[in-house]
Amino acid sequence: MPKIPNSRIRTLRTWMPGISSSELVGVDEHMNQIKLIDLASNDYLDLARHPLLINAAKQTLETDGVGSGGSRFITGSRNIHQELETKLAEWLNRDIVLLYPSGFQANLAAVLALSDRHTPVICDRLIHHSLIIGVKASGAKLTRFRHNNLTELETLLRKSRKSNPEKKPLVITESLFSMEGTTAPIKGITKLCIKYDAKLLIDEAHAFGIMGSKGRGESFGLKEPISIISGTFGKAFGSGGAFLATDKIRGKNLIQNCGAFRYTTALAPPLCASALAALNLMEMNPHWGSDLQDKSISLRDSLAQIGWQRPLGTGPIISIILGSDELAMNYQKRLEDQGLLTVAIRPPTVPEGKSRLRLVIKRNTPAEALERLIQVFKNK
Ligand SMILES: Cc1ncc(COP(=O)(O)O)c(C=O)c1O
C-alpha cells in the first residue's frame, strides 16, 4: 500500500439523518453527539427523505421485493425499469435511456462503448475518476486539456485529426464539475466536436435536477455530436443508481454488447420507484434548479463582499480553494465548531496545492446557517 502522509489520512465518519433534511447527527472526537447543518452532501434538492420518494420505494418494496434477483436479460427486468427508462428518455428528449446500478459503472460502460485501444480520447483534465478508469480499461490513448480550455481542446483535436485521420476522437467532459463547481462550455465543446468530427460524452451527474432548462442538464436541446450522456440518481435524485441516455443506434449497441449493462444485477426496484418519484417532483417544480442556483450565486456574492475570491460557477457546489491540506482541515474544523458540516477535499482528489472546502448549498439550507458560515469566513 502506498504511504499516505498524516495530513491526507481519511477517517470514515458515520452520520444519522437529523430532525430536518438539512441536519446530520454524528459524534465528535470525544464521542459526544453533535448535530450539524449539512453543507456537504450531494442531496441538492433535499429529496433523500422526501415522503413521496419514501412511499414510492415502500410500495415497490411490497410488490417487487428488495432486489431484482437477476440481470436485465435473465429475470431482473421489471415494469418499473421500463417505466423509469421511458420517462427519463421523454424528459431528456433522447431516444433511449438505460439504467445502471451506479454512475461509476455507467461511466465505464459509456467510455467502453465509445472507444477502443485505437481511439484518441481527449478529456478535460478534471473529469471524474470513473471516466479515467474507463479510458484505461479501453486501452485508448488519453490526452487532456486544461480545465474548460476550448483553445487547448481545439489544438488537441486538430493534432489528432492530422495524425490519425481515420479514427474519430472521443471528447469527454463533465457538465457541472464535482470538485470545482464550474460549468463546462458545452456549446463551445459541441461546436468543436462538430468541426473536427469527434464523438462527445458528457457526465451530467451533478447537473441533472439543477442546471439547464428545467433541470434537464447543460446538454438539453443539443443533439449531434453528443453521443452519450451519463447521469446518476445518487445526487439531486436523492437515491442511488444511474443511467445513460443516447440515440437509437448506440442504445441498441449498449443493450447487445455492453458487459456493464448485461452482466450485473438490475437496479433494485425500490430505487427505480424513488427515482421516478424524484423525476415527477422535478417536473412539477421546474423552478427548483434555478432557485437553487440563485441561492448559490448569492452566497458567492457574500463571500466576495467579505474579501474572498469569488468562487467560480453558478451551481450549488461552491469550491473555496485554500491551498494547503492543513488550512482546508482547519476551516472544516472551524465550521464544524459553529455547527456546520463541510468537507475538506485534498489531493489526490484535487491537484497538489489546491486543497479546498467544498460547500454544498441545498434547496432547504437555512439562511441562518449561511449567515453563520459567512461569519466564520469573515475572520480569516
Ligand atoms: C462526476 C461524477 N460522475 C459519476 C459519479 C459516480 O456516480 P455514482 O455515485 O452513482 O457511482 C460521481 C460520484 O461521485 C461523480 O461525481
Domain residue limits, the chain: 6-38+293-378, 51-284
Q: Are 297 and 311 in contact (CB under 8 A)?
A: no
- Cis before residue 225, ω within 30 degrees of 0? yes
**Fold match flag (6-38+293-378 vs 51-284):** no
Q: Which CATH topology does 51-284 take?
A: Aspartate Aminotransferase; domain 2 (3.40.640)
Q: Are 112 and 199 in contact (CB under 8 A)?
A: no
Q: In the predicted model, is pLDDT for residue 29 greater than 90?
A: no
pLDDT in tens, 96-155: 999 999 999 999 999 999 999 999 999 999 999 999 999 999 999 999 999 999 999 999
Centre of ligand 1 to C-alpha 167, Å, is: 29
Q: In whole numbers, what is the pLDDT of the chain averaged over residues?
A: 96
Q: In the predicted model, is pLDDT for residue 1 greater than 80?
A: no
Cell of 353: 496545492
Helices (H) and strands (E) in the chain, counts: 12, 14
Largest CA distance in the chain: 63
Q: Is the CB of 130 under 6 A from ligand 1?
A: yes
| Mutation test residue for ligand 1: of 232, 264, 349, 360, the one with most atoms within 8 Å of CB | 232
| pLDDT of 3 | 79
3-state secondary structure of 336: helix
Q: In the predicted model, is pLDDT for residue 28 greater than 90?
A: no
| Reported confidence tier of residue 7, pLDDT bands at 50, 70, 90 | confident
Q: Are 359 and 336 in contact (CB under 8 A)?
A: no
Q: What is the dihedral of CA 69, 73, 75, 78, to 10 degrees?
A: 90
| Mutation test residue for ligand 1: of 105, 178, 210, the one with most atoms within 8 Å of CB | 178
Centre of ligand 1 to C-alpha 180, Å, is: 14
3-state secondary structure of 206: coil
| Reported confidence tier of residue 349, pLDDT bands at 50, 70, 90 | confident
Q: Is the CB of 102 under 6 A from ligand 1?
A: yes
Q: In the predicted model, is pLDDT for residue 203 greater than 80?
A: yes
* Burial class (CB within 10 angstroms; exposed 0-12, middle 13-18, buried 19+) of 228: buried
d(CA 209, CA 59): 24
Cell of 326: 492543513
Residue 240 Cα: closest atom of ligand 1: 10
| Mutation test residue for ligand 1: of 41, 104, 127, the one with most atoms within 8 Å of CB | 104
Assigned superfamily of 6-38+293-378 = Aspartate Aminotransferase, domain 1 (3.90.1150.10)
Residue bearing the CA closest to ligand 1, atom 16: 178
Which residues are CB-contacts of 270 (< 8 A; sequence separation ≥ 6)?
Answer: 56, 57, 58, 60, 61, 64, 66
